[in-house]
Structure 1
């Protein structure tokens, strides 16, 4: 698994560079700061590689912290069932806001170092399936051209790492609650 962790570190470093370069060029537009948690209310799933990293780091937390996170997972799942739309696609799901179970009461992520690519990119322009998304609190103006991260390319890199974990791992998408429970669809040895 060491190769997976190194691969994720490379991807996350590239994202950090893109984020910092964008913030440097557009300091008024990138408004991310400590205490802002808008990104912690976005729904998304994880690549198998990201899910494995989250589970590894979650498993290393003290028992009390894990128990508190799992309490929030149960609340998250109930809220999802209440808000779940009849049509599921990324654009419909992105409009649903549910608090991430990793966000603690001090407005800090319990697994910040292992946070997925989606969390790391939130706040700068990202192109997903041909459509650009930005944080609602950012100052990026609609219709203007800005440097954009092509999220499909990030997903391709994550998929390549996921294939190293399991056959067809690139096709596996893991919901956050399943990742924290160590339940990876179609993957026997990690579960």
Structure 2
């Protein structure tokens, strides 16, 4: 197994453990559960690490389920590329400014994740992106705590301890390191970039 794939497994495991511990520390302040899918509506940026996980998982799905996901992703990508022609040249978001990304996200905010099951569950749960794995923990920015999702407006917000936030920062550092390792080990073109919008992760990679 390559250094990159070993690191990817380690990152996934550490992220899952961090979320479990962080959730436990918040004593029931996280109402998320199976079938709750508010955070599965609307596109967001994922990294090439997430794309690699998805690409490994998709072939293991039943053919019909895989086809449904691919068709949904293809429809979403086509709509995005009509609205934002720059995506036709490259799906990479690395050179996009925050305003452009926010505009895309707002315009397509009603689109469900291509892997969202009608019952609200995730068809690729074990391979879901890192953002999904950490979703639900209240966001702490500039000293202010806010809900990670509209579902959380019905429960009190609780701030994570500084030690948990430091661990979260270390996860981000490990993610950045693995993206660098991937560039070295992968034969992907250098212009591929590190981030793409979610539906691109479900399409065949060139």
TM interval, shorter chain, is 0.7 to 0.9
Q: Partners of 1:115 and 1:157 in 2: how far apart?
A: 18
- 3-state SS of paired residue (2:116): coil
How far is the alpha carbon of 1:90 from its aligned partner? 5.2
How far has the Cα of 1:122 moved from its partner? 0.7
> Does the aligned pair in 2 maintain the 1:126–1:149 contact within 8 Å?
no
The equivalent of 1:161 in structure 2 is 178
Q: State how 1:173-188 maps to structure 2 within 5 Å.
A: 173-183=195-205
The structural deviation recorded for 1:127 is 4.8
The 5 A counterparts of 1:66-85 are: 66-77=66-77, 80=80
Compare 167-176 and 49-58 and name the one that shifted more: 167-176
Paired positions, count: 181
1:60 is aligned to 2:82? no
Matched, 1:36 2:53: no
Quickly say closer, same or farther: Cα 1:129–1:77, change in 2 above 3 A.
farther
The Cα shift of 1:131 comes to 7.6
Of the three residues 106, 116, 123, the one matched with 1:110 is 123
Q: Cα–Cα, structure 1 residues 4 and 90, in superposed 2: closer, same or farther, change >3 Å?
A: farther
Secondary structure at the aligned position of 2:196 is classed as: strand
Taking structure 1 as reference, are residues 73 and 128 closer, same or farther at Cα in structure 2, changes over 3 Å only? farther
The one of the two structures with greater contact order (alpha-carbon pairs below 8 A, sep at least 6) is: 2
Task: Give yes or no for contact 2:4–2:178 (8 Å, CA) kept in 1.
Answer: yes
Equivalent in 126, 150, 162 of residue 136 of structure 1: 150
Q: Kindly state the Cα deviation for residue 158 of structure 1 after the two structures are TM-superposed.
A: 1.9
Gaps of 5+ in 2: 85-97, 185-189
Cα 1:78–1:182 change in 2 (3 A) is closer
Partner of 2:10: 10
What is the correspondence of 1:21-32 to structure 2 with a 5 Å cutoff?
A: 21-32=21-32
Q: TM-score, normalised to structure 2's length?
A: 0.69
C-alpha RMSD over aligned residues: 3.5
Matched position secondary structure for 2:100:
coil
CA distance in 2, matches of 1:120, 1:91: 25
Normalised TM-score (structure 1) = 0.74
Moved over 6 A (4+): 81-84, 128-131
Answer with 1 or 2: which has the greater Rg: 2
Unaligned runs of 5+ in 1: 184-190
